[in-house]
Amino acid sequence: MKTYRSMVLVSSDTQSVERGANEVFQQFQQEIKSFGLENEVSLSMLGDVGRHDAIPMVVVYPEAVIYGPVKPEDVHFLVEEHLYKGRIAADLQASVKELSGRIAWLSARKGTLPAEQRIVLERAGLIDPVSIDDYIVHEGFESLGKALTQMKPEEVIEEIKQSGLQGRGGAGFPTALKWGFVRKAAGDMKYVICNADESEPGTFKDRVILESDPFNIIEAMTIAGYAVGASEGYIYVRGEYMLAQERLRNAIRLSEEMGFLGKNLFGTGFDFRIIIHSGAGAYICGEETALIESIEGKRGEPRARPPYPTTNGLWGKPTLVNNVETLANIPAILRHGAQWFRSFGTPGSAGTKVYTILGNVNSTGLIEVPMGITLREVIAIYGKGMKGGAHFKLAQTGGSSGSVIPSSLQDTPMDFDSYKLAEVSLGSGALLICDERTCVVDLARVLQNFFRKESCGKCGPCRIGNQRAYEILTNISHGKGTISDLAHLGEISENLYQLSNCGLGQTSATPLRDIMRHFKSEVDAHIKLKVCPAGVCPMHG
Amino acid sequence: MANATANDDEAIFKAVQDAVERHGNSREELIPILNDVNHEIGYIPAKAMHEINRLLKTPESHLYSVATFYRMLSTKPRGRHVIQFCESAPCHVVGGREVWETLQEHLELAENETSPDGKWTLITTSCLGVCGVGPVIVIDDDIFGNVTPDQVPDILSRYS
């Protein structure tokens, strides 16, 4: 590879592009040329660094200076000052106080900010996501080579088992166990599916992983294919993620050209190919059996389980379905070993978790931290406190189907075991932080509205229950609630939990149940006093 | 989005044939094919369904059952520009409702309506995965984040 004196990276995630990152990139191309620096300065695109307060962002190495937000008209000055004259253009530097994520990690080495621990987002923001060379230089495909040439499939599964990796899609099922089921299932034809139908409101971690390090998923799926005995993989990407699809298509094409995908990989006789399948807008397709139906070209209606996809999946064949974040851990585990992985997180929940921080905090975005961090730490350190000095009222963890947790639980460690004991769910990793201006009835109404629209309609409890709960909550918010509504809501949430066919229906009443448990007095005020304490609900009409 | 009018039979047939050629004529490719046709024509007209039925040898009842299931597909004509407003909780708690009310007032449209001049269709959608910058609206393929009610007229004026 050619070496350069300086390296310029321009952020190129969906949100940066929306704010003119492409124009900034083109301007850099022109300016670098007009200063005659083509042979000294390399220019690449940068994946999402997880923070959106200073985008489009430009990072210049080796100094690791971060500029942002950068406008096309700033580029001439930047090139002249920093790249031509060698002076840091301090006026355009992004404020360190405003930044976190990878940038914080860089700053933390200088002792200025708390560090994250990045495993799945290890390369995010450091490499060019469309360059296979860059990926290989950063230890890319090392684990695939190791697995294929030095390990038996059973040994790969054993290593994952030792690492204690649990599924990051929400349920926390032990990954090695699932892999073992598929490996042991009878049949010649097996499939690996990467579930990238991320639709849980507030969750965009998978998009960031796919946009900023797509080759990592290709490598992980190929390792999974080898371990379970599959020769074909599907990535089911939600239809709205156009950039992620484009990056994956590019990654698959380049991997095939370089011989990391296709026939006879590493000369071992192992074949593997990957197909991208785009979704078309349906929350339910994140449920694994609905996702499989959708790949088969049908309505995304969940199947009855059992039989599970591990024995009867795509086209009725044994199928491994893993979430993007789960898979993204695999290459790092094989590279560094299970013990290394276990050194992060808690004894019961190894590794890290990627969270999206949203709502009424000063800094929204995405972080990757060890399992077991508390909500209070997340809000104070990474969210930079509540916006406007407001009080923390509640958080919803894990998207619409996640728990609503009151401030009394904000010191509970966020790991699978502790959350289970507290009867809350960790879910997909979305952390929606709400201050006291949020009304719980209004929030519940918005969430039931989501479920009544996203219910696939196959089974009655979910189709009717969510619609009915929405109607009752709407009545309450208009001051028309009656005492019997409380009993009805309780009955509906119990029925949804007990009688629904799939996970969507079963968890759709989780927030409602939590609100009735932790914020009953506020709901009561709406019904008995006809008052909305937060002043949000109309309470008339 | 809508480059062709609904009456333009040739454009419809071409869109279907291109999509089938791109993805192959097997039933498992139905969703990618419908996606492409929807994107090209702006919706999936009945004539496109006949053509897909002919090429894929799949009953139209099945085609409609799939096309009406997914949010991104439409079997009814839409305006030249489709505005999607995210109504999920993360956008809601940071001021989404005010943006939604402004959109409705400004366009004089309610949810799922198309303006009489065929310019706008206003729909709500579930989370679009850009929650870091809520409230979010998407017009055709353009994403607008951190939208405030007073920005709405300016954003809409960019489309003709």
User: B7 touching A, CB under 8 A?
Assistant: no
CA distance B32 to chain A (A): 7
CA distance A19 to chain B (A): 9
Q: Is residue B1 part of a domain?
A: no
Residues 10-49 of B with CB under 8 A from A: 26-32, 34-35
Q: Where are the alpha helices (DSSP H) in A238-277?
A: 242-258
Q: Is residue A171 part of a domain?
A: yes
Last residue of a domain, one of A341, A365, A385: A341
Domain count, chain A: 4
Residue A190 and residue A158 share a domain: yes
Q: Stretch A187-200: mean pLDDT, rounded?
A: 95
The mean of the pLDDT values for chain A is 90
pLDDT confidence of A445, banded at 50, 70, 90? very high
> For A171, which DSSP code?
T
- Neighbouring residues of B47: CB distance < 8 A, sequence distance ≥ 6: B9, B12, B13
Across the interface, do B132 and A52 touch by the CB < 8 Å criterion?
Answer: yes
User: A366 touching B, CB under 8 A?
Assistant: yes
Q: Tell me, what's the pLDDT at B130?
A: 85
Across the interface, do B93 and A438 touch by the CB < 8 Å criterion?
Answer: yes
Q: For A448-478, what is each residue's pLDDT tens digit?
A: 999 999 999 999 999 999 999 999 999 999 9
Q: Say which CATH number the domain at A15 has.
A: 3.40.30.10
Residue A520 and residue A388 share a domain: no
Q: Domain of residue B49: give its range.
A: 9-67
Across the interface, do A202 and B125 touch by the CB < 8 Å criterion?
Answer: no
Across the interface, do A14 and B30 touch by the CB < 8 Å criterion?
Answer: no
Residue A380 and residue A361 share a domain: yes
Question: How many angstroms separate the CA atoms of A143 and A219, rounded?
Answer: 8
CA distance B5 to chain A (A): 23
Q: For A418-444, what is each residue's pLDDT tens digit?
A: 888 888 888 888 999 999 999 999 999
Q: Stretch A70-89: mean pLDDT, rounded?
A: 87
Q: Stretch B6-28: mean pLDDT, rounded?
A: 89
Q: For B21-53, what is each residue's pLDDT tens digit?
A: 999 998 889 999 999 999 999 999 999 999 999
CA distance B149 to chain A (A): 17
Residue A320 and residue A237 share a domain: yes
Domain count, chain B: 2
Q: For A156-193, what is each residue's pLDDT tens digit?
A: 999 999 999 999 987 889 999 999 999 999 999 999 99
Q: Which tops the pLDDT comparison, A14 or A453?
A: A453
Residue A336 and residue A187 share a domain: yes
Residue B93 and residue B60 share a domain: no
The two structure tokens encoding residue A72: 């096309």
Residue B45 and residue B104 share a domain: no
Last residue of a domain, one of A311, A341, A371: A341
Residue A185 and residue A301 share a domain: yes
Q: Tell me, what's the pLDDT at B145?
A: 86
CA distance A447 to chain B (A): 7
Residue A301, Cβ neighbours under 10 Å: how many?
21
Q: Write out chain B residues lying below 8 Å of A432, CB-based.
A: 89-90, 93
Q: Is residue A346 part of a domain?
A: no
Across the interface, do A15 and B71 touch by the CB < 8 Å criterion?
Answer: no
Last residue of a domain, one of A372, A404, A435: A435
Three-state DSSP class for A183?
A: helix
Q: Say which CATH number the domain at A299 has.
A: 3.40.50.11540
Across the interface, do A358 and B128 touch by the CB < 8 Å criterion?
Answer: no
Q: What count of residues does chain A have?
A: 541
Residue A322 and residue A236 share a domain: yes
Q: For B54-91, what is each residue's pLDDT tens digit?
A: 999 999 999 999 999 999 999 999 999 999 999 999 99
Q: Is residue A315 part of a domain?
A: yes
Cβ atoms A304, A501 nearer than 8 A: yes
**DSSP strand pairing (A270-278 vs A232-237):** parallel
**CA-to-CA separations, B122 to A320, A396, A469, B106, B158, in angstroms, rounded:** 39, 28, 25, 11, 16
Residue B59 and residue B110 share a domain: no
- Neighbouring residues of B157: CB distance < 8 A, sequence distance ≥ 6: none
Q: Tell me, what's the pLDDT at A50?
A: 61
Helix (H) or strand (E) holding B123: strand B120-125
User: A204 touching B, CB under 8 A?
Assistant: yes
CB pairs under 8 A between A and B: 133
Comparing CB atoms, the residue among B62, B89, B126 nearest residue A454 is B126
Comparing CB atoms, the residue among A242, A283, A295 nearest residue B28 is A295
User: B111 touching A, CB under 8 A?
Assistant: no
Residue A220 and residue A309 share a domain: yes
Phi-psi region of B136 (alpha: psi -120 to 50; beta: other; left: phi over 0): beta
Across the interface, do A18 and B128 touch by the CB < 8 Å criterion?
Answer: no
Q: Stretch A20-33: mean pLDDT, rounded?
A: 91
User: A441 touching B, CB under 8 A?
Assistant: no
Comparing CB atoms, the residue among B30, B31, B129 nearest residue A198 is B129
Residue A328 and residue A283 share a domain: yes
CA distance B135 to chain A (A): 10
Q: Is residue A125 part of a domain?
A: no
Q: Say which CATH number the domain at B86 has.
A: 3.40.30.10
Residue A190 and residue A306 share a domain: yes
Q: Is residue B121 part of a domain?
A: yes
Q: Domain of residue A63: give its range.
A: 6-108
pLDDT exceeds 50 at position A100: no
Q: Say which CATH number the domain at A521 has.
A: 1.20.1440.230
Across the interface, do A280 and B35 touch by the CB < 8 Å criterion?
Answer: yes
Across the interface, do B127 and A201 touch by the CB < 8 Å criterion?
Answer: yes
Across the interface, do B144 and A207 touch by the CB < 8 Å criterion?
Answer: no
